[in-house]
Amino acid sequence: MPRYFGTVTNKEVLTGREISEKEYKKLLKISKNLALFGNCQNLFKIFLFNFTDLMEYLISVDVPPLNMTARTSQFDELTFNINRHLSNLLASFRAYVDHIPSQLNRRFGKNSSHKESFEKKTSEIFDTFFEYRFFSKLRNYTQHREYPKYHIEYKADQSSSSPESSDGSYQFLLDPDTLLKSYDSWGPCKSDLITRNAPVNLKEELNKLASLMTHLDMFVSNFYLDDLNEATEFIKTSFKADDFLNVEYCVIEKMTNEGQKIIFTTKNLSTDVLTKHLRKVEAYQRIKSNEG
């Protein structure tokens, strides 16, 4: 039974030319490799969504600001919600670091250098950046000890005669001494906490962690560049299809006529992974341009 190259848009499925058996096998291989890359992207996406949820919540309490004479229950609810979001974030952070090596092995083989390169990279980041060490250990702290308790400060315009109604923002702070006294497995992070001369600012350190994870995601993505280039080049040259931002591609098979209807099945080729990657690269390029 013949198979056809298909184009999928939001409104319709368009049938292209017939696919040979050799081309079909090539498309299946490409689709498998794209799907494996997609697994890595989804791990990062889960982390990113959890980071966004937590940061949006932290920002939301600034507008309007909390009542300066709020009851204890209001701050308890605030702490509860922060830790609820933080728990999801730390779990997805740990899942990314733990699961990427197995994903690399599935694609490149257990004897490839990719897993070793990733583990070397994360080890370098751990040794270099406090925020990475801290949240790695804070994940263990929340899993095995307790959820953090925060000192909450409201920073407002000093020139305002009424700080509680002025523009400002809340600072959610973690006291190093409290963390050290309540947990004894901070590892290399212990000396960081001992020598700190200021509390750990949750917002600031989370933003730093997200920046590190973004760079780590691009590091992993580079392993798959050959797969991405092979997929786009094969589809472009073989099927004259080059729009990877607005459409997806598939294989159409088992096409039959039932009266005035045409019934068929489609096999997804995972080209949505290309779409997401291209958009992500564009976003990173804009960020870099703005930084410059």
Q: What's the pLDDT at 33?
A: 96
Q: What's the pLDDT at 230?
A: 94
Q: Along the chain (292 residues), what's the average pLDDT of each consecutive run of 10 residues?
A: 88 89 96 96 95 92 58 79 96 97 96 95 98 96 88 63 60 92 94 94 95 94 93 94 88 81 85 85 67 54
Q: What's the pLDDT at 263?
A: 80
- pTM assigned to the model: 0.86
Number of neighbours of residue 213 by Cβ within 10 angstroms = 21
Domain residue ranges in the chain: 3-291
